[in-house]
C-alpha cells in the first residue's frame, strides 16, 4: 500500500538548471498545457458516449427509467469523487493521477460496449463517474503549479473550453460511428480516444516546474507566497464562507442549472429523435452546435463580467440564466424546424457555457474567503452534480410514465418533461438573482 502512495506522490524537485531559460520553460509549460487540455477533451468524450447511445439502447429493450438510473450513477459518483480526488490531487503527481483516471474511464467504456444488463451498465457507468473525477482536480492543480496569478485566469478560460470540444467530438464523431457500425463500436471508439489521451499525458505532461529543475512559479514570476496560516484560521474562514447565505442560494441555482445542462447533454439527442423525428446524425449535429457555441459564450462572458460586473457577477449570470431558459424553450415548445432548433442550441450553448463558468465556480470564489476557496467550490460541485444526477433520474421516470405503446410502437409525450426542464431553468435564474441581491446587501453593509 505504501508503494502505491509513493508512486502517486508529487514528483520530487530535481537539481536546478541554473539561470532560468525562459524560452525552454515556456516550451515545457506550453507542451504540458496542450497535452492536459487535449486529454481533458478525451475525458469528456468518455463521459458523454452513453448520451449518443441512448436511442440504440432503447431499441434493444433498455427502458428510459433504466437509462436514467444508469446516467445518474455517473453524476452521483462524480460529485463525491470530485471532492475526494480534488483533495488528493493537491498531493499527487498529476501526470500519473490523471492518466490513471482516463485509462479507467476508457476501460469502463469498453465494458459498457460488452453488455446490455442494466445493473452492470449502472455499475460500470458509476465507476466511470469516479474515474471522471480524477480529471478536473489534476488539471486545476497543474494550472496552479505552472501559471502565476496574473496569467492563470486566461489559461483557465482556454482550458475550460475542453468540455465544449469534447461534446462536439462526441456528437459529431461518436454519433457517426454509432449510426454506421452500431452502439458497441461507439463505446469502443470512445475507449480508443481515451487511450490516446493517456498517451498524450504520459509523453508530454510534466508534473511541476520543480520536477523539471525549475523554481516554483511564484519565484519565477516574482509572486511571493502568502504567509502561512494556522489551521484554526483556515477553519474559521471555511466556516465563515459556509455561513454566507449567498453560497447556498448559488449552490441551489447551480443545481437547477445542471439539470438543464445535462438535460441537453444527456437527453437532447433522444428528445430530437423522438419528439421531432430527426435522425441520429441530424439530432447529433443540432446538439453539437450547443457545444461549439459554448466556447464563444464562456470566453466572451468572462471578459464582459470583468469589465461590467466585477463586484457582483451574479447580476449578469441571472440575466444570462433567463436567456438560457428562453433558448431551451425554443427547442422544446416550437414545432420541428431545423433553423429554429439550431438557433435554440446557439442561444442555449452560449449561455450555458457562461453559466457553467459563473455558477459552477467563479462566483463562489468571488463571494468566499480566498482561504476557503476549496470548501466553496466543493459545496458548489456536490450541489451541481447532485442536481444533475437527480435530474437525470427524474427525466427517465417522467419519460417512462408519460409514454404509451400503440400497435407495438412506443409513443412519447414530452409535455410534462418540457415543463420540468423549463421550471428548472427559471428556478436557477431566480436563485441567481436572489444571490445577486444578497451579495449587494452584504457589500453595502461592509461600506
Q: How far is 421 from 178, CA to CA, in rounded Å?
A: 27
The answer to whether 297 and 349 have CB atoms below 8 angstroms apart is: yes
pLDDT of residue 46: 96
pLDDT of residue 351: 94
Q: Which of 388, 390, 362 is nearest to 377 (CA)?
A: 362
Number of H helices, E strands in the chain: 18, 2
pLDDT of residue 230: 38
Query: What phi, psi does 120 have (nearest 5°)?
Result: -65, -40
The answer to whether 352 and 289 have CB atoms below 8 angstroms apart is: no
Helix 245-275 vs helix 338-357: angle between axes, to the nearest 10 degrees?
160
Tell me the three state secondary structure of residue 405: strand
pLDDT of residue 419: 97
Domains delineated in the chain = 27-220 (1.20.1250.20), 231-447 (1.20.1250.20)
The answer to whether 329 and 345 have CB atoms below 8 angstroms apart is: no
pLDDT tens digits for the chain (447 residues)?
Answer: 566 666 667 666 676 666 777 888 889 999 999 999 999 999 999 999 998 888 888 888 888 889 889 988 998 898 888 778 876 777 788 899 999 999 999 999 999 999 999 999 999 999 999 999 899 878 877 877 887 756 665 677 678 788 888 988 998 899 899 989 999 999 999 999 999 999 999 999 998 888 888 888 777 776 654 433 434 455 566 566 677 888 899 999 999 999 999 899 889 989 999 999 999 889 988 998 988 898 888 777 767 776 776 677 888 899 999 999 999 999 999 999 999 999 999 999 999 988 987 887 677 767 765 455 556 767 788 889 889 889 988 998 999 899 888 877 888 899 999 999 999 999 999 999 999 998 887 777 765
Copy the grid coordinates of residue 435: 444571490
**Average confidence score pLDDT of the chain:** 85
The count of other CB atoms within 10 Å of the CB of residue 23 is 8
Place of cell 430530437: 272
Cα dihedral 104, 109, 115, 120 sign? positive
Predicted model pTM: 0.74
pLDDT of residue 191: 98
Q: Which of 40, 42, 219 is nearest to 142 (CA)?
A: 40
Amino acid at each position: 500500500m505504501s508503494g502505491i502512495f509513493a508512486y502517486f506522490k508529487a514528483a520530487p524537485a530535481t537539481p536546478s538548471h541554473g539561470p532560468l531559460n525562459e524560452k525552454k520553460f515556456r516550451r515545457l509549460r506550453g507542451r504540458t498545457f496542450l497535452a492536459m487540455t487535449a486529454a481533458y477533451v478525451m475525458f469528456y468524450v468518455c463521459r458523454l458516449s452513453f448520451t449518443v447511445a441512448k436511442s440504440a439502447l432503447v431499441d434493444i429493450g433498455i427502458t428510459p427509467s433504466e437509462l436514467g438510473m444508469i446516467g445518474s450513477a455517473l453524476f452521483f459518483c462524480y460529485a463525491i469523487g470530485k471532492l475526494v480526488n480534488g483533495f488528493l490531487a493537491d498531493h499527487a503527481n498529476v501526470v500519473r493521477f490523471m492518466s490513471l483516471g482516463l485509462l479507467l474511464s476508457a476501460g469502463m467504456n469498453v465494458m459498457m460496449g460488452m453488455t446490455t444488463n442494466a445493473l452492470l451498465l449502472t455499475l460500470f457507468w458509476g465507476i466511470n463517474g469516479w474515474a471522471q473525477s480524477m480529471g478536473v482536480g489534476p488539471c486545476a492543480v497543474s494550472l496552479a503549479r505552472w501559471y502565476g496569478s496574473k496569467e492563470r485566469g486566461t489559461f483557465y478560460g482556454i482550458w475550460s473550453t475542453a468540455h465544449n470540444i469534447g461534446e462536439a467530438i462526441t456528437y459529431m464523431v461518436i454519433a457517426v460511428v454509432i449510426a454506421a457500425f452500431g452502439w458497441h463500436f461507439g463505446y469502443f471508439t470512445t475507449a480508443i480516444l481515451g487511450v490516446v489521451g493517456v498517451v498524450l499525458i504520459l509523453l508530454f505532461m510534466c508534473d511541476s516546474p520543480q520536477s523539471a529543475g525549475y523554481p516554483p512559479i511564484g519565484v519565477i514570476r516574482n509572486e511571493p507566497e502568502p504567509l502561512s496560516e494556522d489551521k484554526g484560521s483556515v477553519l474559521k474562514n471555511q466556516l465563515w464562507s459556509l455561513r454566507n447565505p449567498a453560497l447556498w442560494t448559488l449552490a441551489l441555482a447551480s443545481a437547477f442549472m445542471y439539470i438543464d445542462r445535462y438535460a441537453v447533454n444527456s437527453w437532447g439527442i433522444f428528445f430530437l429523435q423522438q419528439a421531432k423525428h430527426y435522425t441520429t446524425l441530424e439530432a447529433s449535429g443540432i446538439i453539437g452546435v450547443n457545444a461549439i457555441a459554448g466556447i464563444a459564450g464562456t470566453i466572451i462572458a468572462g471578459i464582459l463580467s470583468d469589465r461590467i460586473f466585477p463586484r457582483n457577477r451574479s447580476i449578469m449570470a441571472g440575466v444570462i440564466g433567463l436567456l438560457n431558459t428562453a433558448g431551451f424553450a425554443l427547442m422544446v415548445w416550437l414545432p420541428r424546424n431545423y433553423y429554429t432548433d439550431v438557433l435554440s442550441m446557439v442561444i442555449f450553448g452560449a449561455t450555458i457555457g457562461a453559466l457553467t463558468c459563473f455558477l459552477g465556480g467563479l462566483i463562489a470564489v468571488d463571494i468566499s474567503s480566498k482561504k476557503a476557496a476549496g470548501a466553496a467550490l466543493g459545496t458548489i460541485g456536490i450541489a451541481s452534480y447532485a442536481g444533475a444526477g437527480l435530474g437525470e433520474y427524474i427525466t427517465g421516470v417522467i419519460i417512462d410514465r408519460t409514454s404509451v405503446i400503440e400497435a407495438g410502437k412506443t409513443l412519447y409525450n414530452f409535455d410534462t418533461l418540457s415543463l420540468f426542464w423549463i421550471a428548472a431553468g427559471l428556478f436557477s435564474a431566480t436563485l441567481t438573482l436572489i444571490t445577486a441581491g444578497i451579495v449587494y446587501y452584504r457589500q453595502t453593509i461592509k461600506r
